[in-house]
Chain A
Amino acid sequence: MNLQHGKEEQDVAERRARRSPDIDMTPMIDCVFLLIIFFMLATTFAPLPGIRVKLPPPGKPTKEKPKGLIMRVHRPEGGTKDGVMVLNEEIVTYEYAYSRFMTSSAEAKDMLIIQAERAVPHEQVVKIMDLAKRAGVEKIGFATTGQ
């Protein structure tokens, strides 16, 4: 009787030893899921659209008159939204500027220099860049009139 009782105790002890301790994974998985949701919302993979601008190397500006297309943009006056645009000494609208870009020679199309006054809205300059790029102008440079 005593012997049987001792064997039972031994079996229970063995079973206890064999059973590995259970770790509750649920809270950790909850945390990990929250982290994943955070990273998924805060991450962006889509590329950013933009227009590349070429700038000359820093140094003294040359006195040579640049070749190609030169667009001067005056500050908007009299409550107008956009400033007056002058392409190679000729006042142009957006449509006319686009057709002039399109019909320019390949050499002239190599570069467009935008000479815009400081007060010209950025939107207008981007619009000119957009037209020039769509018409096949390769490089776009900037100059300021110092106003």
Chain B
Amino acid sequence: MKLGRPKEKKAGPKLAMEPLVDCVFLLLIFFMISNILRVPPPFAVTLPESRARSEFARKRYNVFIDAIGRISVDDKMMPNGDALETFLFTNKDKIETLIIRADKATQHGYVTDVMERANRRGIESIAIAVNEDDYKGNM
């Protein structure tokens, strides 16, 4: 029978966690400041393909139009065109370029409606978003 004081646990090699924590906090701050959250629209939108394209910075306030003509600004549904126009007017200072992300099957009339309303409210820079994938068409 072995009696006596219990053996003390051997202290393992200590890892200095402070630099790791510092790095992690820096990363967190970086992502928090630079992030533009992916805001999905309340409906599915398939963008048309195009080989000619310019690049635009991802910002908030993108107008989505689905195949049957429903309109949303980011994830906020617009009940009608007037609501969209009011929204654009109140936020026009925050919109550098209005990006219209319309479904390829939607009618062109819905897109021109949005463009006209934006133009009427003083938004001059407008772009039509195209599919981010590589062009697969034959022409």
For B48, the chain A residues whose CB sits under 8 A away are 122-123, 126-127
| Complexed CA–CA distance, A33 and B28 (Å) | 8
For B97, the chain A residues whose CB sits under 8 A away are 52
Verify B119–A58 contact, CB threshold 8 A: yes
For B38, the chain A residues whose CB sits under 8 A away are 42-44
Verify B108–A49 contact, CB threshold 8 A: no
Q: How many residues of B contact A (CB 8 A)?
A: 54
Interface size class of A (residues with CB under 8 A): 35 or more
Verify A44–B36 contact, CB threshold 8 A: yes
Over the window 111-147 of chain A, the binary record of Cβ atoms lying under 8 Å from chain B Cβ atoms (1 yes, 0 no) is 0000011111111111101110110000000101000
**Residue A1 CB within 8 A of the other chain:** no
| Complexed CA–CA distance, A36 and B117 (Å) | 39
Verify B107–A119 contact, CB threshold 8 A: yes
| Complexed CA–CA distance, A120 and B50 (Å) | 17
Verify A49–B132 contact, CB threshold 8 A: yes
Look across to chain B and name the residue whose beta carbon is closest to the beta carbon of A32. B24
List residues 103-125 of chain B with CB under 8 A from any CB of chain A. Answer: 103-112, 115, 119-120, 122, 124-125
B97 CB, nearest partner CB in chain A, Å: 8
Closest 3 CB pairs of A and B: A118-B109, A133-B52, A39-B31
Sample of 16 A–B contacts (CB below 8 Å): A29-B21, A32-B28, A39-B28, A43-B35, A44-B38, A46-B58, A48-B56, A48-B57, A49-B56, A49-B129, A49-B131, A49-B132, A50-B127, A53-B128, A120-B107, A127-B137
